[in-house]
Amino acid sequence: MIEINNLVKHYGDKKAVNGISFTVEDDEVLGFLGPNGAGKSTTMNIITGYLSSTSGTVKVNGHDILEEPELAKKDIGYLPELPPLYLDMTVLEYLNYICDIKQVKRSERKEQLAKIIAMVKITDVADRLIGNLSKGYKQRVGIAQALVGNPSILILDEPTVGLDPNQIIEIRKLIRTLAKDHSVIISSHILSEIQEVCDRVVIINKGKVAAIDTITDLSKRLAGSSKLLLSFKGDAKKIMNEIRSLPGVSDCKIRISDKDIHEAEITVTGNSASDIRTSIFYVMSRNSSPIMEFRSLDPTLEEIFLSITAGT
Amino acid sequence: MSKDKKNTKSAVTDNRQKTLKLYSVGTIVILLVIVVAANILFDSILGKYLTFDFSLSNQNSISNETQDYLDSLSADTNIRVVGLMDRPTELNNTPLRYIVPLLDDYATKSGGKVTVEYVNPETYPSIRQELDREGQYDLTADTFAVCYQGKIVSISPYDCFTYDTESSSYGYYVPTANAVEYTFTNAMANLTSGFSAKAYFVTGVESDSSEQLKHILSSLGIDSADLPVSSSFTIPEDCNLIFINNPQTDIPQNVASALNNYISTGGDFIVAVNFYNNVSEQYPNLNSVLNEMNLNIDTYVVKENHPEYVLDNIGFEALVDIASNYTDFSSSSQLRSGYARPVRKYDNPYSYIKTDVVLTTSAYATAVKINEDGGQSQYENEDTYNVAMYATYEGMKDAPCCYVFGTSYFTSDEYISSYGYNDANVQFLRNCIRDITGMNNFNNLQVDSKPLDDYSFDSTKATASNASVMTVIFMIIIPLALVIAAAVVYAKRKNL
Amino acid sequence: MIAVFKREFLSYFRSPVGYIAIALFSFLSGYIFVNNFATGAVNIASEVISLRSFFVVIVPIITMGLFAEDKKRGTEILYYTSPIDLFSVVAGKFLAAFCLYGIMFVNVFIHMIVTKSCDGIVDIGAWGSVIVFFFLAMLFISIGIFASAITDSQIIAAIFSFIMIMVIQLLSTISSLAGNAIAAFLSMLGVASESSNSVGEAITNGINWLDPFAKTSDFRYGSFSVAPLVFCISFAIVFLFLTFRVLEKKRWAKS
Ligand SMILES: Nc1ncnc2c1ncn2[C@@H]1O[C@H](COP(=O)(O)OP(=O)(O)O)[C@@H](O)[C@H]1O
Ligand SMILES: [Mg+2]
């Protein structure tokens, strides 16, 4: 369990973190969501004992990071934004070194490393130089590093940033496996990523907590302002009016294009997001307008903040 | 209410960080205080007790030779050593630190034959009168006077060391050898043996200074003075030995005839020349003197070709063998020589002149002529050349004798100051002087300076060929192997 | 500590740095030795003393990366986030650099063996200067490590330690210059020449007190004393402790 209380961090005049408080329960996967520069990395660095806070406290399983740093750090595995890799070492040399500095017992080392290497799937690069690995593999080695010493808490700072889509899927899979027996904090600036693996989300912006919620509650709240994108052929004006008149639709903007494929951005209120698609389909069908594309639009973080602040 | 709570909380954390900062700065300050205190403690209080003399020839105790000499003196001998200063208390970083403790050792180990006292002539001006009734010795403050039966040898602390000429550029004088015991014991031995002699150096023929040589003479109890060449050149009555030490130009005619007179009255002399800056000098006048002794020096340079003798790459610096009659002059069987002129027997017909070979090259040396244009031309075939010779008149009482060195590697300041008083060449020279002055009749003691820093190799191993092997190993093979290792490791790991 | 030592020490040999540093030292010491050898007399003490002048080059090379590189690559985070004592990190890195020096010094031991086998002398003075060499190495390496910890640029670290070591090597010159300059300045201000001279002398002596070279100059004659060694080792500890504090500052500093 991690208790974070009123964390403040100043860089000179700039307040990177400004009074953040939240707790992470045992075996929970917590998403830490915020745009770039929100203070996610700073908060994580403070939790793991890398940076000091200007004020505020962090307790890891009851140990204050400032007062009992050794005990607190034993329970944490950390993958920073920039993975702390020695490019001049091979993966095995590096992991053995991590075992050394994390004081893993010699007798357990071999078994533990074998388990970790199998889990993060780096068996075939174990003897290669870290500097020669691809970004995805480097990230895995970084995660392997965090797993050494069997910490009960994993803190991963934007683990998928800079990876290609295949690698992202692989890393997410890995995180879901890890989530089974660890408490995990994952930071990200992409909502969908958090939604996929997390139980709860802490959303921060400009150094302050904007919302703390379970994924389900958050979905509900966000549902209040979901959006749909519809591309179609046909009489744009007429269709727009018909859609606007549907119950639950609060707005419909249409971009009319020359190539007679038009795009409508439909804002939906209420809990009827699933129903409204049926109604829209019938509208189009009535007008004999072919649907070229029909999907829900992911809200941008800005919109989430807007809707959250509007809701409270 | 909740606001208050927040404030106190942040105040608490602030204090905690202040405490950590104070702790951090505080520990640094405490450590600094401890370190400075410990250093002062070790430096000025414990320092004296925690200094150990591990030197082989314990710098602060007299050697067996000195002990034997002291034991050989009769029990009622009284040698007074007077330091013309207050007894020094602060010895660090002064030459006195090697002198004061050693003199104390003389006093304790001589059983009363040597007494040591310190009298400052500024507070007790009468001390000069007391020691030196006739005022014939120059007793300056801060020197030591060794007194025996009214005779005095004055020793300055700075004369008790040889200095590293190179490190004077660092701003301080680094003694390369501690000759304190050498100086004092020799002074005592000379006083008690009653031996005295006077040597004159012929100067004004572009010869180098002979300060080191004069030191050696004075430790042998021989006073020295300069004798400049001039139109009224005469050799003083009290002269026992003439030195012509590395003249770059020939001696004038009148000096040559004065020397011829000197020889005919049984005078002794030592000549050293070399072939370095004076390649075309033929020394006709000097040779005319040497011819009287049936010797001659040639205008060639000796070039050694035997690889085990060569010291430089060319063969101009090389080892020379000591002729069998002179092997007991040195503990080493070979000596160094460089830029030597060959010394040879002349064709003087008088059979009472007896010459003797002293130092020779290997059988593979050549004599080389340096042409006007600086090029070399070979003069004679491979042969053994003499680098030093001795000559005397047989069957004559008080016969003249001389040593002639073709090289400056025995007598020059440059050589002696770079190799020290214990060098084999210097030892050899000292024995030549003992021999020529007949000192051995007075004082048979070989009281040399303590063998402190003789770093010479066995000369058979320090050859040019060995040196090049070393060059290859240490400057090429080892560094290159490491660079190759670096490249291999780099290439191997790069592609892992 | 052993973990960090092992990594840093081996990393000298994973990259060319270690080999090149040793090659450089081998070449320089070989040069001095061979030159002495050619004259037929080898004084190991002089060789070791000459080698001390290369501290100013070799120490920055082997210490500049120790912390600066970690900071640049982001690997220093490992020291803060693992349950390892920061002082043991400092000590481990110090030991690694010191052992590299030890390996370089094998050259001199080889020279000693050659000297012995040529019937030369390896006397107590030679061993004295070896002892001094290692104590000075401790002092200078700790300075180099400190330089590396206060910046994340290897170049700046190297320049800083270069200057520090240079100044220490020139202390005897600096002290007399400073003493004379101050004496001259005081007498210019109208202070009686006697007292201004004594002030100048006091300053010269004060600065000289800090000179580890002057303090240890007697070792080469076989006269060993503990005080200069205490001086070197205690100031080495001071610099290592300062390094530790600089690193630890991140744990509590407010900004
Ligand atoms: N070392 C630093 N010095 C000054 N400002 C910093 C430093 N590190 C981060 N910041 C600032 O603090 C804010 C928060 O940064 P960070 O925690 O890295 O954001 P995030 O990880 O959420 O993208 C940013 O505005 C950033 O510019
Ligand atoms: Mg970040």
pLDDT in tens, B319-359: 999 998 888 888 788 899 999 999 999 887 888 889 999 99
Work out whether strand A29-33 and strand A183-188 pair parallel, antiparallel, or are unpaired.
parallel
Residue nearest to atom 8 of ligand 1 (CA): A42
Side-chain-facing half-sphere of B278: CA atoms under 13 Å: 22
Enclosing domain of residue C54: 2-162+223-254
A70: nearest CA in chain C? C83
Q: Token pair of B160, please?
A: 């008790």
Nearest residue to B493 via CA among A48, C119, A90: A90
Residue C124 lies in a domain: yes
Which of C17, C82, C84, C249 best tests the A interface by mutation, with the highest count of A CBs <10 A? Answer: C82
Domain ranges of chain B: 3-52+462-493, 55-194, 195-440
> Looking at chain A from residue 44 to 63, which residues have their Cβ under 8 Å from any Cβ of chain C?
45, 48-52, 54
- Residue A249 has phi, psi (to 5 degrees) of -95, 120
The predicted pLDDT at position C92 comes to 95
Local structure of residue B169 (DSSP, 8 states): G
Inter-residue contact C225 to C218 (CB < 8 Å): yes
Local structure of residue C41 (DSSP, 8 states): B
Tokens 């209420």 belong to residue: A270
Picking from A11, A89, A100, the nearest residue to C3 by CB comes out as A100
- The CATH fold assigned to B55-194 is Glutaredoxin (3.40.30)
* Chain C residues touching A102 at Cβ < 8 A: 82-84
Q: Token pair of B95, please?
A: 């030459």
A220 Cα: distance to centroid of ligand 2 (angstroms) = 28
Collect all residues with Cβ–Cβ distance below 8 Å to B144 and sequence separation of at least 6.
B81, B82, B83, B84, B99, B103, B154, B155, B156, B157, B184
CA distances C2 to A98, B329, C5, C245, Å, are: 12, 60, 5, 20
The predicted pLDDT at position C110 comes to 92
Residue C14 lies in a domain: yes
Give the three-state DSSP class for C187: helix
Is the pLDDT confidence value at A126 over 60?
yes
As separate numbers, helices (DSSP H) first and strands (DSSP E) second, chain B gives: 12, 21
Residue type, B436: I
> Looking at chain C from residue 208 to 247, which residues have their Cβ under 8 Å from any Cβ of chain B?
209, 214, 217, 221-227, 230-231, 234-235, 237-238, 241-242, 245
* Secondary-structure breakdown of chain C: helix, strand, coil percentages, each rounded to the nearest 5: 85, 0, 15
pTM across the whole model: 0.67
B492: nearest CA in chain A? A129
Atom of ligand 1 nearest to the CA of A17: 14
Q: Do B495 and A90 touch (CB under 8 A)?
A: no
Q: What is the 3-state secondary structure (H, E, C) of B351-389?
A: CCEEEEEEEECCCCEEEEEECCCCCEEECCCCECCEEEE
Number of domains in chain C: 1
Distance between CA atoms of residues B199 and B222, nearest Å: 7
Picking from C75, C78, C83, the nearest residue to A70 by CB comes out as C83
Collect all residues with Cβ–Cβ distance below 8 Å to A101 and sequence separation of at least 6.
C3, C4, C78, C79, C82, C84
Strand partners, A15: A10
| pLDDT tens across the length of chain B (496 residues) | 344 444 444 445 566 777 888 888 999 999 999 999 988 888 777 766 777 766 655 666 777 778 888 888 888 888 999 998 888 766 655 678 778 878 888 888 888 889 898 888 888 888 888 887 776 677 788 889 998 887 888 888 877 776 655 544 444 455 666 778 888 888 888 888 877 788 999 988 887 778 888 888 887 778 888 999 998 889 998 888 999 999 989 999 999 999 999 998 888 999 999 888 778 888 999 999 999 899 999 888 999 999 888 888 788 899 999 998 888 888 788 899 999 999 999 887 888 889 999 999 999 999 888 776 767 777 767 889 999 999 999 887 788 999 999 999 999 888 887 777 778 888 899 889 888 887 665 554 554 555 445 566 666 677 778 888 888 988 899 999 999 999 998 888 888 7
* Chain A residues touching C254 at Cβ < 8 A: 10, 52, 54
Nearest residue to C150 via CA among C246, C251, C252, C80: C246
Mean pLDDT (whole number) for C86-101: 94
> Looking at chain B from residue 28 to 87, which residues have their Cβ under 8 Å from any Cβ of chain C?
28, 31-32, 35, 38-39, 42-43, 46-47, 50-56, 59
Q: What do you get for the CA distance between the two ends of chain A, in Å?
A: 28
Q: Do B493 and A129 touch (CB under 8 A)?
A: yes
The CA-based angle A208-A210-A216, given to 5 degrees, is: 145
Which helix (H) or strand (E) is A2 found in, with range? strand A2-11
Q: Which ligand lies nearest the alpha carbon of A40?
A: 1
Out of B240-244, B491-495, C181-185, C220-224, give the one with best mean pLDDT: B240-244
Best of A7, A10, A14, A203 for a ligand 1 pocket test (most atoms within 8 Å of beta carbon): A14
Q: Do C221 and B312 touch (CB under 8 A)?
A: no
Sign (positive/negative) of CA torsion A165, A166, A172, A178? Answer: negative
Q: Token pair of A86, please?
A: 């020695």
pLDDT tens digits, C118-148: 877 787 878 888 999 999 999 999 999 999 9
Inter-residue contact B157 to B95 (CB < 8 Å): yes
Distance between CA atoms of residues B385 and B344, nearest Å: 8
Whether A11 lines ligand 1, by a CB cut-off of 6 Å, is yes
Q: Do B486 and C16 touch (CB under 8 A)?
A: yes
Chain C interface includes B458 (CB < 8 A): yes
Q: Token pair of C153, please?
A: 């640029």
Sign (positive/negative) of CA torsion B300, B304, B309, B315? Answer: positive
ipTM > 0.90 for the complex: no
Best of A9, A11, A81 for a ligand 1 pocket test (most atoms within 8 Å of beta carbon): A11
Provide the 10 A C-beta neighbour count for residue B232.
6
The CA-based angle A128-A133-A139, given to 5 degrees, is: 115
Inter-residue contact B408 to B272 (CB < 8 Å): yes
Greater confidence, C238 or A55?
Answer: C238
Which of B455, B463, B468 best tests the C interface by mutation, with the highest count of C CBs <10 A? Answer: B455
Q: Token pair of C148, please?
A: 């590396």
Q: Do A48 and C81 touch (CB under 8 A)?
A: yes
Subunits with 3+ Cβ pairs within 8 Å of A are B, C
Residue C210 lies in a domain: no
Sign (positive/negative) of CA torsion B71, B73, B77, B79? Answer: negative
Picking from C15, C77, C251, the nearest residue to A52 by CB comes out as C251
Distance between CA atoms of residues A23 and A5, nearest Å: 8
Residue C227 lies in a domain: yes
Provide the 10 A C-beta neighbour count for residue C219.
27
The predicted pLDDT at position B176 comes to 65
Give the three-state DSSP class for C172: helix
Q: Do B489 and C30 touch (CB under 8 A)?
A: no
Inter-residue contact B272 to B245 (CB < 8 Å): yes
Atom of ligand 1 nearest to the CA of A34: 22
Distance between CA atoms of residues B193 and B153, nearest Å: 13
Whether A14 lines ligand 1, by a CB cut-off of 6 Å, is yes
Residue nearest to atom 1 of ligand 1 (CA): A11
Residue C190 lies in a domain: no
> How close C157 gets to chain A, by Cα (Å)?
20
Q: How confident is the model at residue C207 (pLDDT cuts 50, 70, 90)?
A: confident
The pLDDT mean for chain A works out to 84
CATH 3.90.180.10 fits B195-440, yes or no: no
Whether A41 lines ligand 1, by a CB cut-off of 6 Å, is yes
Collect all residues with Cβ–Cβ distance below 8 Å to A170 and sequence separation of at least 6.
A121, A136
Chain mean position to CA C143 = 7
Which helix (H) or strand (E) is A267 found in, with range? strand A262-268
The predicted pLDDT at position C124 comes to 81
The predicted pLDDT at position A310 comes to 56
Whether A39 lines ligand 1, by a CB cut-off of 6 Å, is yes
DSSP B18-73: HHHHHHHHHHHHHHHHHHHHHHHIIIIIITTTTEEE--TT-TTS--HHHHHHHHHS
> How close B102 gets to chain C, by Cα (Å)?
14
Of A175-189, C82-96, C115-129, which gets the smallest average pLDDT?
C115-129
CB contacts < 8 A (A, B): 25
Residue nearest to atom 2 of ligand 1 (CA): A11
Provide the 10 A C-beta neighbour count for residue B118.
15
pLDDT tens digits, C53-83: 889 999 999 999 999 999 998 999 999 988 8
Residues B445-481: b if buried by 16+ CB within 10 A, e if exposed? bebbbbebbbbbbebebbbbebbeebbeebbeebbee
> How close A56 gets to chain B, by Cα (Å)?
6
DSSP B435-453: HHHTGGGT-----PPP---
**Assign residue B352 a region: left if phi > 0, alpha if psi is -120 to 50, beta otherwise?**
alpha
- Residue C89 has phi, psi (to 5 degrees) of -65, -50
Residue C204 lies in a domain: no
Longest CA–CA span in chain C (Å) reads 65
Which helix (H) or strand (E) is C93 found in, with range? helix C86-117
Nearest residue to B144 via CA among B118, B167, B170: B118
Collect all residues with Cβ–Cβ distance below 8 Å to A10 and sequence separation of at least 6.
A16, A54, C254, C255
